[in-house]
Amino acid sequence: MRRPLLILSLVFLAALFSGCTDGRRFSPEAWRQEDQFQRHAFTGDLLGRRLLIGKGWREVHQMLGPGRTFGRDVSTWNVGLDKETGTPIVLEVDFRDGIATHATVHRE
């Protein structure tokens, strides 16, 4: 029962964020060259292709560079600012036993 809900959520998020980006494909080089509050263009690709899922904590941090780390279970990276409130929009990656299991984008 939980699996269909997860799949539906992922499809919804991919559709939502594909409309919020300019369709740029993620690469670690392009990510690092972009201002931290302009990286939202990569989130659709990161989530849609599940580029972080299954990767180790160290590998994710090498791909995305410095972020905020909350223990070894959660890390976040700024990707944009909400146009109305100025609230940061972040990419959040959850880890279990050092492996990325879930990635989302949300307002902080």
- Model's pTM, two decimal places? 0.77
Would you tell me how many other CB atoms lie within 10 Å of the CB of residue 14? Answer: 17
What pLDDT was estimated at residue 37?
A: 94
Instruction: List pLDDT tens digits, range 7-63.
Output: 545 444 444 444 444 668 999 999 999 999 999 999 999 999 999 999 999 999 999
Q: Which of 24, 101, 25, 93 is nearest to 62 (CA)?
A: 93
